[in-house]
Amino acid sequence: MVDEKLIIPPERIEKWIYLMRGQRVMLSTHLSELYGVQPRVLVQAVKRNLERFPEDFLFQLTQDEFANLKSQIVTSSWGGLRRAAPYAFTEQGVAMLSSVLRSRRAVRVNIEIMRTFVRLRSMLQANADVARKLAELEKKCDAQFKVVFDALRQLMALPSTLKKRPIGFQVKEPRARYKPSRRRA
């Protein structure tokens, strides 16, 4: 039986996936909210099982990274001052959390997070394919339009020695002859 209240919308998870140090990560503060535990409980569980979280699974943000992240997020959900910067979990680190946090909610949330990571990866791949196809099309079109632009340049470079016809209507009639008038003296 599926408890509908536990299903988390993918959009909510997607907005909490950040690109840091060249990797897509989720922060411990957001993960604790998704798992329904306090951030310190999540961090304690991780510290008790540190052998499961090598550097490519988990790292702690530097104060500069944390300050930069807080400045990018207008409404901070962390509130107040913190003693320590949050931890960042890579996709593999999030997957490892399911072995540390063993509640039913943690397992279900983990499944949704993994699905979101997979969906993002496929979207990025699709975008890369579109960008590659667009570049190919641009090269192809540039060659075709080069012919058009060359023709336009030739038309613009026509010699200006062509006789220009006057604008308007001209009547070609014989001139009227007038006799010189005699003045009376």
pLDDT tens-digit readout, 24-34: 898 998 898 88
DSSP string, 124-173: HHHHHHHHHHHHHHHHHHHHHHHHHHHHHHHHHT--TTSPPPPSS-----
> What does the mean pLDDT of the chain come to?
78
Please indicate, yes or no, whether the overall pTM of this predicted structure exceeds 0.85: no
Q: Is the pLDDT of residue 58 over 60?
A: yes
**pLDDT the model gives residue 83:** 67
What's the pLDDT tens digit per position in 161-177?
556 677 777 777 877 77
For residue 24, give Cα distances in angstroms to 66, 70, 92, 93: 15, 17, 10, 11
Q: Find, among 92, 88, 127, 99, the residue nearest to 113 by Cα.
A: 92
Q: How many CB atoms lie within 10 A of CB 167?
A: 5
Query: Could you tell me the two tokens for 167?
Result: 């604008």
Band of the pLDDT at 70, cuts 50, 70, 90? confident
Mark out the alpha helices in the chain (DSSP H runs): 10-14, 28-35, 39-48, 63-72, 91-100, 104-156
What's the pLDDT tens digit per position in 105-163?
887 888 888 888 888 888 878 777 777 777 777 777 776 677 777 777 777 665 555 56
Q: How many CB atoms lie within 10 A of CB 170?
A: 6
Band of the pLDDT at 5, cuts 50, 70, 90? low
Give me the CATH topology for the region 4-131: Mlu1-box Binding Protein; DNA-binding Domain (3.10.260)
